[in-house]
Amino acid sequence: MSILKVARMGNPVLRRRMPPLDPAEIATPAVQRLIDDMFETMREYAGIGLAAPQVHEDRRLFVAGVDDPDGGLPPIVMINPEVEPIGVQIEEDWEGCLSIPDIRGRVPRPTDIRVRALDRHGAPQRMTAQGFAARVIQHETDHLDGVLFFDRMASFDSLTFLQEYERFWDEADRSR
């Protein structure tokens, strides 16, 4: 496996809409290796999710997952995902992005979603997700449409560097 180079904000690859991945391609060594490399890259940089355009691959897929005793996310691969909100509840919470290093901002997102996608074996998966998992899935699916989390912010008042986040916001956030 290898660690891939992550595209940073300003790179046009992050603004492209990714074409659907042909299901016949999913089993190929190229795609299987890409998925493994994306997991390795995500873990190397302590990310929670990583979408193919972030590693310069024009493919409609992302990986996500994080170990966290306070509620993690099991490893998931989503190919050609389609996200649909359930209900109208919106919640604002902090997001960061491996393509926008050391910056955080608060992003409103639907709290409950329904997702349809293919898994890494090409099998259809349907799931519902809430809260943190729903937020990660929406963030990563946005990458496949060339959308970054800044685009979803209701206001830039909360935009903060990581160091200032830890100094001024993290404590307040935890006590919410």
Instruction: State the catalytic residues.
Output: 140
- Of 23 and 156, which CB lies nearer to Zn ion in the complex structure? 156
Residue 144 Cβ vs Zn ion, minimum distance, rounded to whole Å: 11
Residue 43 Cβ vs Zn ion, minimum distance, rounded to whole Å: 15
- Of 63 and 97, which CB lies nearer to Zn ion in the complex structure? 97
Burial class (CB in 10 A: 0-12, 13-18, 19+), 103: middle
- Of 21 and 144, which CB lies nearer to Zn ion in the complex structure? 144
| Residue 18 is a binding residue for Zn ion (CB under 5 A) | no
Report how far apart, in Å, the C-alpha atoms of 109 and of each of 23, 93, 137, 143, 165 are.
29, 8, 11, 15, 20
Report how far apart, in Å, the C-alpha atoms of 42 and of each of 14, 38, 90, 117, 158 are.
16, 6, 27, 20, 25
Residue 34: both structure tokens together: 């890409």
Residue 23: both structure tokens together: 């299901």
Q: Alpha-carbon distance 116 to 139, whole Å?
A: 15
- CB neighbours of 162 closer than 8 A, spacing ≥ 6? 96, 102, 103, 104
> Looking at 76, 97, 133, 144, which residue binds Zn ion (CB under 5 A)?
97
Residue 51 Cβ vs Zn ion, minimum distance, rounded to whole Å: 7
Q: Number of residues in contact with Zn ion, rule: CB under 5 A?
A: 1
> Segment contacting Zn ion (CB under 5 A): 17-25, 96-104, 110-118, 162-170?
96-104
**Which single residue is written with the structure tokens 């929406």?**
138
- Of 23 and 72, which CB lies nearer to Zn ion in the complex structure? 72
Residue 98 Cβ vs Zn ion, minimum distance, rounded to whole Å: 6
Positions that interact with Zn ion (CB under 5 A): 97
